[in-house]
Amino acid sequence: MEIKVCEVNIINTKKDMESFIEEFRVLASNHRNNKAISDMADKAIQRCEQLNDQKSLVKLYEIKISQIEHLHDYITDVLDLVHKMKDISREIKYISGLALAYNVEWYVEKYRGNKERSRDALEDSMKYLSQDSTSEDYAYYVCNYSFAVEKWLTEHDVESSVILEECADYFYKRGFYRSFVQTIAILEIIFTRMQKGNRILDKCKTIFANKSLFEKLPNDVKAISYYFAGLGYMINMNLNSAETYFGKAYDILKPIHKESIYFSNFIILHSYIITVKALQGKLEQTLKTIHEVESLLKQSFYDRNLDSGTKNQAYHTLNLNKFYVYSRLKDFDLEEMQDLIEEIFQGSKTLYSDFMLLNEFILNSNLKTTQLKELLTTNNFSINCVQHIISFVLLGKEEEDNTNKQLLDGINVLTNRVKDNKITLIENVFADLLIAQQLFSLKRYGDIYQLLRKYRKQLNRIEVLELRVFMEAFIQVGIFKIGDPLGPALQYMAIKKCRQYGFSRLENKLLEYLDIQGIDTLRMMA
pLDDT over 50 at 81, yes or no: yes
- Backbone angles phi and psi of 479, in degrees to 5: -65, -45
Best-predicted range by mean pLDDT (192-206, 259-273, 344-358): 344-358
- Region 229-241: what's the mean pLDDT? 85
Q: Identify the residue with better confidence: 68 or 238.
A: 238
**What are φ and ψ of residue 68, in 5° steps?**
-130, -5
List CB contacts of 102: < 8 A, sequence separation 6 or more: 86, 121, 122, 124, 125, 128
pLDDT of the residue at 507? 66
Residue 141 is classified by DSSP as H
- Give 488's pLDDT tier (boundaries 50, 70, 90): low
Q: What percent of the chain is modeled with pLDDT above 90?
A: 40
CA-based nearest residue to 368, from 394, 349, 392: 394
How does pLDDT run across 161-184, given as a tens digit for each residue?
899 999 999 998 998 988 988 888
Please state the rounded mean pLDDT for residues 385-409: 83
pLDDT tens column, 135-153: 789 999 999 999 999 988 7
**pLDDT bucket at 492, cuts 50 / 70 / 90:** low
Question: Residue 404: CB partners within 8 Å, gap ≥ 6?
Answer: 442
pLDDT higher than 90, residue 519? no
CB 68 within 8 A of CB 78: yes
Contact indicator for 95, 135 with CB cutoff of 8 Å: yes
pLDDT of 506: 63
- pLDDT (tens digit, 9 = 90+) per residue, 502-514? 656 666 666 766 6
Q: Please, are residues 325 and 286 in contact by the beta-carbon 8 Å criterion?
A: yes
The answer, yes or no, to whether residue 453 has pLDDT greater than 50, is yes
Distance CA(134)–CA(487), nearest Å, equals 72
Q: Say if residue 1's pLDDT is above 50.
A: no
In this prediction, residue 15 carries a pLDDT of: 92
DSSP code of residue 282: -
**Global pTM?**
0.76
**pLDDT number for residue 526:** 35
- Helices (DSSP H) in 236-366: which residue ranges? 239-253, 263-279, 283-297, 300-305, 308-326, 338-348, 355-364
Q: Which of 320-329, 483-492, 496-505 has the lowest mean pLDDT?
A: 483-492
pLDDT value of position 380:
86
pLDDT value at residue 201: 64
88 has pLDDT over 80: yes
Q: Identify which has the larger pLDDT, 377 or 483.
A: 377
CA angle 457, 458, 461 (to 5 degrees): 150
Distance between start and end Cα atoms, the chain: 84
For the chain, what is the mean pLDDT? 84
Domain ranges of the chain: 399-525
Q: What value does the mean pLDDT take over residues 86-109?
A: 93
Identify the pLDDT of residue 318: 94
